[in-house]
Amino acid sequence: MRKNTVRDVAVAGRRVFVRVDFNVPLDQGRITDDHRITASLPTIAYLGEHGAMPVLASHLGRPKGVDDALRMDPIARRLEELLHRPVRKLDDCVGPSVEPVIGAMRPGEIVLLENLRFHPGEEANDPAFARALARPVQLYVNDAFGTAHRAHASTVGVPSLVPAVAGFLMERELTYLGKVLEAPTRPLVVILGGKKVDDKIGVIRNLLRLTQTMLIGGGMCYTFLRAAGGRIGSSLCDEERLGLARDLMAEADRRGVRLLLPLDVVVAQRPASDAPVRVVDAREIPDGWMGLDIGPRTVAAFGAPITAAGTILWNGPMGVFELSPFAAGTRAIAQAVAESCAESIVGGGDTASAVEQLGLADKITHVSTGGGATLEFMEGKVLPGVAALQDAA
């Protein structure tokens, strides 16, 4: 799925609408993780160095109308620090206060629009709002893979009105995630975690066609353990998906895929930093106790296929890694993936945060910036924001 990129079009002297994903976590106006900002710097720098006029646009949070706590001002300040150049932040993203400023831009100048979601037309993909966004620009670049699964005005409306290509981050996401689906170096090992089976059903089904080994941890593993006849105490369990879990395990068996569940788990009576913990057999969790991380035997069992892998795809932590008593499993798997000689792709969201926090991101081949977008892509779905971009010749 190759798309034209900023390299394939003339950018000099053009006002370029760049859809970025600057939806970063904030703590009282302070950015606590700027990975999504730094990930788009190569595209922004390229446009500036080649005489373009980048107009950066993003959403931030889930505002219902204008919300002063979700304005883009902290993003503009961080961008200036990272780019070592001025970034002009506007107080709106469309209208008479915006268009003259964009029209007067000079090559190399950078403008950051206000939060797109302050306008209901963004999520509604309102044609009038899309036209207002597109009116002052001559080219569209999407560098926001994390929003590519949303058919919003800034992801599908604007690119229907002006020539639309991918940025370098979007290109990188499509290259690495696409390779997993199309031509992975084998053996392909898929590691899935997180809380909900429901979030991963499509991913599991699609990847069972491709993988040789699937490792399942996190909160979702207890539904599979229960479906396989295990006792899981008060662990998280999706009762409505027990039959589906049995079907997926049977499908893995038919396809000759090794689907490995935890052998042992770390349990507590509540998910808290000060809770007493025990390590027990994963299929014999006592009543009143809940599984909150994979145990040391499981780490060893999962480590063997990770070490032998040609390609690793990992989405979802192995436990409640935010709490120190239940972080060891995720940390051990992250270390094994980082030390592997395989091409490693880590899915977005909590998994990306985990490898960043552990200081291992630079040892991973690709850390995706997508959460839901990554999952939908791995299901084999067509993402609207990707489909809107020009196909490469």
Does 351 appear as a known binding residue? yes
59 is in an annotated binding site: yes
Which position has the token pair 């808290």? 272
Does the annotation list 200 as a binding residue? yes
Residue 360 is labelled as binding a ligand: no
349 catalytic per annotation? yes
Asked if residue 167 belongs to a known ligand binding site, the reply is no
| 23 in a known ligand binding site | yes
Query: C-alpha distances in angstroms, 95 versus 112, 120, 130, 152?
Result: 14, 15, 12, 18
Single out the residue of 175, 164, 108, 104 nearest to residue 138, CA to CA.
164
21 is in an annotated binding site: yes
Catalytic hit among 349, 370, 371, 385: 349
Q: Would the annotation count 149 as a binding residue?
A: no
- Asked if residue 270 belongs to a known ligand binding site, the reply is no
Q: Is 22 annotated as a binding residue?
A: yes
- Angle at which helices 41-49 and 73-83 pack, to 10 degrees? 60
Residue 150 annotated as part of some ligand binding site: yes
Find out whether 322 is annotated in a ligand binding site.
Answer: yes
Q: Which of 77, 196, 258, 297 is catalytic?
A: 196
Is 36 annotated as contributing to ligand binding? yes
| Residue 370: active-site member | no
Judge whether 179 is annotated as a binding position.
no
SS (H, E, C) the chain: CCECEHHHCCCCCCEEEEECCCCCCEECCEECCCHHHHHCHHHHHHHHHCCCEEEEECCCCCCCCCCHHHCCHHHHHHHHHHHCCCCEECCCCCCCCCHHHHHCCCCCCCEECCCHHHCHHHHCCCHHHHHHHHCCCCEEEECCHHHCCCCCHHHHHHHHCCCEEECHHHHHHHHHHHHHHHCCCCCEEEEECCCCCHHHHHHHHHHCCCCCEEEECCCCHHHHHHHCCCEECCCCCCHHHHHHHHHHHHHHHHHCCEEECCCEEEEECCCCCCCCEEEEECCEECCCCEEEEECHHHHHHHHHHHHHCCEEEEECCCCCCCCHHHCHHHHHHHHHHHHCCCEEEECCCHHHHHHHHCCCHHHCCEECCCCHHHHHHHCCCCCHHHHCCCECC
Residues 189, 44 contacting (CB under 8 angstroms): no
Q: Clarify whether 246 is annotated catalytic.
A: no
Q: Is 115 annotated for ligand binding?
A: no
Active site residue: 3, 36, 89, 331, which one? 36
Does 80 count as an annotated binding residue? Answer: no
- Residue 362 neighbours by CB distance under 10 Å: 9
219 is catalytic: no
Q: Which residue numbers are catalytic?
A: 36, 196, 349, 372
- Residues comprising the binding site for substrate? 21-23, 36, 59-62, 117, 150
Return binding residues: 21-23, 36, 59-62, 117, 150, 200, 291, 322, 348-351
- Which residues are documented as binding site for ATP? 200, 291, 322, 348-351
